[in-house]
Amino acid sequence: MASKVSVETVDLPSFFADLVRCETRLYNALNDRLRERHGIVTSQFEFLRHLRDHPGARVADLAAEFAVGIGATSKGVDRLERQGWVARMPNPSDRRSSLLELTHDGLQLVDAAEGTFTERLAELIPDALKASPLTAAAQALSELRAVLERDQIGMPTG
Amino acid sequence: MASKVSVETVDLPSFFADLVRCETRLYNALNDRLRERHGIVTSQFEFLRHLRDHPGARVADLAAEFAVGIGATSKGVDRLERQGWVARMPNPSDRRSSLLELTHDGLQLVDAAEGTFTERLAELIPDALKASPLTAAAQALSELRAVLERDQIGMPTG
DNA sequence: GTAGACTATATGCCATGGCATCTAAAGTGA
DNA sequence: TCACTTTAGATGCCATGGCATATAGTCTAC
C-alpha cells in the first residue's frame, strides 16, 4: 500500500478540456447575440464594462485584467475610440499614457449590452446547474483565477 | 415575501468572467511550454491528441469537437499535414472527405507532448484546489459542457 | 439516369491577437 | 543636468479564425 491515503482527485486534462470547451461555446453564443443586438462582440463588451466600472484605467490595466498583450489592447482601444465609445484623456501625471473613459454613447451601449449579456448567459446555463453544482464550480474557479493572477501566469509578451 | 424560497445562486457574470480568465491564462501558459518543448501550441496538441484517440476522424468531426469553424479546421489540418504529423487518407465511402490519421512522427510527438502538457497543467493548478473544490467544479463544467454540446450551442458558421 | 438539392471541405478576404520593435516620457545616479 | 535604464503604449508583420464562397461528390425524386 502507498503511504498516502488515496484522495479523490480531479482528472486535470479532462477538467481543462471541459473548461476550454465551455468557454468557447459560451463565448461564441454570447458573441452572436451581442453582435446582432448591439454590433459588438464579447471582448468589446468586457472592455467597455471594465472601463465603466474602472474609469481612468490605462491600456496596461486592461491588458493585465484580460491577460491580453499590450499591443492588442492598444488596437482594441483604437477600435472602440473610432466608434466613439471610448476617449483617451491625457494623463496629467504621466504623459506616456492616457486615461481611458467611456463616452456618453459608450455608457449607453454598455448598459444596454449588459442586459442582453446577462439575459443570454442565464438562458445558456441550465437552471439545474445554477444552484449547488455551479456554485461550487464558481468558487473553485474564482480561487484558481486569483492564484493565476497573483503569479502572473499566462500573460502574453507584447 | 416572494413565494419561492431564496436559493443560493451563482452570480453568472462573475462566473463567466472567472471562467474566461482561467481559460485564457492556462491556455497561454500551456502554449508557452508546449511551444518551447515541442514547437506546437495547445490547439495543435488537442487536434493531435484527438486524432490519436479517434483515428479516422474527419475534418467535420474535429470542428464539432472543438467548436471551431470547418474552414479553420481544414486550415489547421493543412498545417499539421505540412509538418508531416497528420495524413489525409482517402475515405472509401465518401470521396468528398478524408479520414485523418497521425503519422509515425505525429504519434511520437503527441505522446511526448502529452507528458509536458499533463505535467505543466499539474504545476499550474494549486494542490489545495485539486481535491474537493476542483472536483466539484469539474463535475459542474462537465455537465455544462454536455448540455452545450447537446444543444449545439456556440458553433461557428463556417 | 438525370436535374436539383444537399454535404464535405477547400479557399479567399477580413478582423484580431501575438510578438518584435520603435518612440516618447519617466525615473536614477553620479 | 546629463547619460542610462526602464516604462507605456503605438505600430508593423505574421499567424490564426470567422464567414462567405467555390467545388466536387452524394443523395432523392421522378
Note whether residue A9 is domain-resident: no
Do A116 and A34 form a contact (C-beta atoms < 8 A)? yes
Asked whether residue B102's C-beta has any atom of DNA/RNA strand C within 7 A, the reply is: no
Question: Domain check: are A154 and A79 in the same one?
Answer: no
Pair B141, A17: CB distance under 8 Å: no
Q: Are residues A38 and A115 in the same domain?
A: yes
Q: Are residues A113 and A36 in the same domain?
A: yes
pLDDT for position A33: 92
Q: Which of residues 45-64 of B touch A (CB under 8 A)?
A: 46
Is the domain of A139 the same as that of A152? yes
- Is residue B144 in a domain? no
A89 with A40, same domain: the answer is yes
Is B20 within 8 Å of chain A by CB?
yes
Residue A42 pLDDT exceeds 50: yes
The pTM score is 0.89
Chain B residue at shortest CA distance from A151: B124
In a domain, B54, yes or no: yes
pLDDT at A45 over 50: yes
Q: Answer whether A146 touches B (CB < 8 Å).
A: no
Tell me the mean pLDDT in the region A67-80.
95
A58 and A112 fall within a common domain: yes
Q: Is residue A14 in a domain?
A: no
Domain membership flag for residue A25: no
Chain B residues closer than 8 Å to A155 by CB: 25, 28
Q: Which of A12-26, B62-76, B89-103 is the least confident region?
A: A12-26
Specify if B69 maps to a domain. yes
Given a cut of 50, whether residue A2 has pLDDT beyond it is no
B15 assigned to some structural domain: no
Instruction: Please indicate, yes or no, whether residues A114 and A41 belong to a single structural domain of this protein.
Output: yes
Whether A154 and A95 share a structural domain? no
Residue A87 maps to a domain: yes
Asked if strand C comes closer than 7 Å to B71 Cβ, the answer is: yes
Contact A137, B145 (CB under 8 A): no
Same domain (yes/no): A111, A147? no
The residue that leads in pLDDT, A77 or B157, is: A77
Confidence grade of residue A156 (pLDDT, cut at 50, 70, 90)? low
- Same domain as A104, residue A70: yes
pLDDT at B1: 46
Same domain, A111 and A156: no
Domain total of chain A: 2
Shared domain check, A104 and A57: yes
Domain containing residue B42: CATH number: 1.10.10.10
- DSSP per residue, B25-83: HHHHHHHHHHHHHHS--HHHHHHHHHHHHSTT--HHHHHHHHT--HHHHHHHHHHHHHT
Cβ contact, residue pair A13, B125, below 8 Å: no
Q: Which of A149-153, B12-16, B39-43, B125-129 has the highest mean pLDDT?
A: B39-43
Whole domain around residue A82: which residue ranges? Answer: 30-124
* Residue A136 to residue B117: CA distance in whole angstroms: 26
Distance CA B129, CA B63 (A): 32
